Amino acid sequence: MDLVIRSIEEDDVDQIAEIEKECFATPWPREAFLTEIRENKLARYIVAEVDGKLAGYGGMWLIINEAHITNIAVKKEYRGLGIGNRIVESLIYYCTAHNIERMTLEVRKSNIVAQNLYKKYGFVEYGIRPRYYADNNEDAVIMWRTNKLR
């Protein structure tokens, strides 16, 4: 498997929108990703390609010395291959290289697989956002990580 992690490009947006629809009950629309790429100076997004095909992506907003992970998704056909790990590792690497001290995210309370992935990389549960997800009023687990800076 030839896995490449790279910065997002506008040409990736249609495929990312399809992955969003496959992975999330309330997916971001295509236009939201275009706005993130074109206008949001705080946003950083990466994609994972397997053998030249888009397999997943991750994004975050950088606010002063903190990063808020907005999305991480891997197409179903590519799950279990370590791609989610590489996306998380790449986001962490970016943050430590740019002196971003802390990272945070919200994850569905029922998404134990994702929570375990984040815990593997030092994210710790810090609280709950009650009824955070509009599609079913599910709670979100708030997780934080402190980076070891250079």
Q: Which SS3 state, helix, strand or coil, does residue 79 take?
A: coil
Report pTM.
0.94
Q: Label residue 148 by pLDDT band (50, 70, 90).
A: confident
Q: What is the mean pLDDT of the chain?
A: 95
| C-alpha–C-alpha distance, residues 144 and 28, integer Å | 23
The pLDDT tens digits for 59-102 are 999 999 999 999 999 999 999 999 999 999 999 999 999 999 99
Residues 6 or more apart whose Cβ sits within 8 Å of residue 75: 19, 22, 23, 54, 55, 56
pLDDT of residue 88: 98
Q: How many domains does the chain have?
A: 1
Q: Of 20, 36, 49, 106, which one is the catalytic site residue?
A: 106
CATH number assigned to the domain comprising residue 32: 3.40.630.30
| C-alpha–C-alpha distance, residues 78 and 99, integer Å | 31
Q: Of 39, 45, 118, 133, which one is the catalytic site residue?
A: 118
C-alpha distances (whole Å) from 58 to each of 24, 72, 131 are 14, 4, 24
- 94 in catalytic set: no
Calculate what percentage of the chain has a pLDDT beyond 90: 94
The pLDDT tens digits for 30-58 are 999 999 999 999 999 999 999 999 999 99
Asked if 59 and 70 touch (Cβ cutoff 8 Å), the reply is: yes
- 39 in catalytic set: no
pLDDT of residue 150: 64
**134 lies in which domain range?**
3-146
The pLDDT tens digits for 123-140 are 999 999 999 998 899 999
Q: Label residue 149 by pLDDT band (50, 70, 90).
A: confident
